[in-house]
Structure 1
């Protein structure tokens, strides 16, 4: 049974004529007659009694007409609701992102909610770059660093600066590394983005590059956990400048190497498809593109 045939049958039943229905739809009368017959064949019942002067609904035709009207009305209502939900700034947005993102961007996310009060945010943490399972539905997935091959669409939001930090208390006890190679004598907190990732850091000053491998003192996949470990004097870690700068200003952390080896990691927004992106998701994506440079400037100066 085809939905289009059901619609044509309801039209014929209401107009009471194949000819008038054909004129209304601007299609041949024979086409309408054939499609109504196809509908009857699929149901294995006669829906209309046809004479040379008129047509009438059979008993089964009357029953089917009432049910078809209800079904078509429900479909029209659903289409209207879906179209409205798709095109208006309302509904829920499910976002997976590193936990540090929510800490740094809390103010901006709050502003987005004030600007769009009918949009709700479901913010879920994802501190490593392992693929999400197929069972997890999301609208946006934010990821820092290199992208793996994926069927997802990627849009670069900007760059997130990073550097090397330790607590002032740790440095008082263990000494301050003067060069990257000195790190091999220190406790290193290594953030593992991909399981089995080799513990090493690349240092570059624009002219020369150096790769330093080490045996980590602690391995974690949590950005928030890594920050807590650094704050509690466990060792040295690579942190987002956005996250660390307020703690440096408070005297809790110190940036190593006078900021000489700062680096940048791209921040990407990943989403399932370019087609039919809901308006609420498009608005958040655009907002994040604008907010990231503001956050970098405000939190690093």
Structure 2
């Protein structure tokens, strides 16, 4: 049974005529009659008694008409409610993001909530690039680094700068590497974004790029754990400048290579589809594109 045939039957019942229903829908009388007949066949019941002068609902037709009207009214109400929510700046937005971004998010959440008080935010941490489980609903998903093939739409939001760091105690015991190739003689703390990721770091020197293959002493998927290990003297790590800023200022960490080899980790916003994006999500995405790069720069310049 098709919803469109149910709607057509209700119209025929209310107008009392295949001809009038056909004129209203701009379709031939024969098409209206055929579709109502197909509806009756699918239900295996006669809905209308047909005479040369008029149409009359059968007893079963009257029952079906009343139930169909209720169903169609409910559908119309749901469509109106959903369309209203889609077009208004209200409701909840579920966001998954690396915990690093929560250092940045704090600077814009308050402002965004002031601008759009009817929008609530659900911010959930996610520090790896593994696909979300199918039962995890989200509106925006933030991902750092290289993107894997995905059906999701990706938009670059900003870059997070980073570098190579170690504690003064570690460098006093193991020595300070002068070039990236010297790293093979050091204890390396490696953060993997995907389980089983090949441990390597890429460097750019003038116009050339090269990769240093690593044999890490410690592998972790936790940025907080990586920072704690670096500060404790466990080895050399690659950290975002946001994580390293405070321990660098208070002497817990030293930046290697005189800051020569910097990296820029791109941050992407991923979302299911460009079509039918709710207004609240569109507003948040637009806000982030403008404000997140400024927030990163402000955080690093304090």
Q: TM-score, normalised by structure 1?
A: 0.90
The residue correspondences of 1:4-83 to structure 2 (distance < 5 A) are 4-83=4-83
The residue correspondences of 1:157-168 to structure 2 (distance < 5 A) are 157-168=157-168
User: CA 1:60 to 1:145, structure 2 compared with 1: closer, same or farther past 3 Å?
Assistant: same
Structure 1, residues 98-142: CA drift from partner, whole Å, max 9, x if none?
111123322223322332222222222222222223333222221
Structure 1, residues 25-78: CA drift from partner, whole Å, max 9, x if none?
222222222222221121122212222332221111111111000000111111
User: CA 1:118 to 1:130, structure 2 compared with 1: closer, same or farther past 3 Å?
Assistant: same
3-state DSSP of counterpart to 1:212: strand
Structure 1, residues 262-292: CA drift from partner, whole Å, max 9, x if none?
1112211222222222222222222221123
- Which residue of 2 is the match for residue 115 of structure 1? 115
Moved more, 72-81 or 26-35: 26-35
1:205 is displaced (CA, Å) by 3.2
Q: TM-score, normalised by structure 2?
A: 0.90
Q: CA RMSD of the aligned region, Å?
A: 2.2
CA–CA distance in structure 1, aligned partners of residues 62 and 240 of structure 2? 69
CA–CA distance in structure 2, aligned partners of residues 200 and 18 of structure 1? 74
User: CA 1:291 to 1:54, structure 2 compared with 1: closer, same or farther past 3 Å?
Assistant: same
- Which residue of 2 is the match for residue 212 of structure 1? 212
Contact 1:165 1:239 (C-alpha < 8 Å) held by counterparts: yes
CA–CA distance in structure 2, aligned partners of residues 28 and 113 of structure 1? 54
3-state DSSP of counterpart to 1:300: helix
CA–CA distance in structure 1, aligned partners of residues 6 and 198 of structure 2? 62
CA–CA distance in structure 2, aligned partners of residues 210 and 16 of structure 1? 80
The residue correspondences of 1:168-247 to structure 2 (distance < 5 A) are 168-171=168-171, 174-247=174-247
Size of the aligned set, in residue pairs, is: 301
1:183 is displaced (CA, Å) by 3.1
Question: Deviation above 6 Å: which 4+ runs of structure 1?
Answer: none
1:185 is displaced (CA, Å) by 4.0
1:228 is displaced (CA, Å) by 2.5
Unaligned runs of 5+ in 1: none
Contact 2:104 2:296 (C-alpha < 8 Å) held by counterparts: no
3-state DSSP of counterpart to 1:267: strand
Unaligned runs of 5+ in 2: none
1:207 is displaced (CA, Å) by 3.8
CA–CA distance in structure 2, aligned partners of residues 46 and 28 of structure 1? 22
3-state DSSP of counterpart to 1:56: strand
Moved more, 232-241 or 66-75: 232-241
- Which residue of 1 is the match for residue 96 of structure 2? 96
CA–CA distance in structure 1, aligned partners of residues 151 and 101 of structure 2? 24
Contact 1:98 1:223 (C-alpha < 8 Å) held by counterparts: no
CA–CA distance in structure 2, aligned partners of residues 200 and 78 of structure 1? 53
